[in-house]
Amino acid sequence: MHKLDNQGAPVSPERTGELCPASAGTASQATPGRAQTTSQETAESYSGVLIRLDARHRVIVCKDGIQWIVQRRRGQRCGRARWAALGYCTTRKALIRVCHSSCGVLDPKALASLEALPERIGGGT
């Protein structure tokens, strides 16, 4: 099974767990060579993807920037993957707990990326 990045392109196994780069484009602005991003949290191309935990799980920052959301890939809508929320967290400790309960054993790179986040979303260490 191949892992996909936030644009649906295959991801090599060593990229799992890395912090996803901030997207330069928006739903209304296409970036040459990249898929358009959107502000719809359930979309495959959501611009706020923070960490890919594995092929079926990811962590995003909500569109308002006030919480982290753990999501699982759930089927498709209009021929594109759709994502469903598993948990909403404002602290790193809660986020790691939800990720463990959702994914089981986490990839070491994913866990390191989670542990590198601030203690609370929006600031503070």
Split at pLDDT 50, 70, 90, the class of 38 is confident
Whether pLDDT at 26 is above 70: no
DSSP secondary structure letter of residue 46: B
Q: Domain limits of the chain?
A: 3-115
Q: Report the candidate in 23, 89, 82 with the shortest Cα–Cα distance to residue 59.
A: 89
Overall residue count recorded for the chain in this entry: 125
Pick 80 or 63 by higher pLDDT.
Answer: 63
What pLDDT digit, counting tens, does each position of 68-115 carry? 999 999 877 777 778 999 999 999 999 999 999 999 999 999 999 999
HSE-up (13 A, CA, CB side) for residue 15: 15
HSE-up (13 A, CA, CB side) for residue 58: 31
Give the Cα separation of 75 and 60 in Å (integer). 18
Q: pTM of the prediction? A: 0.69
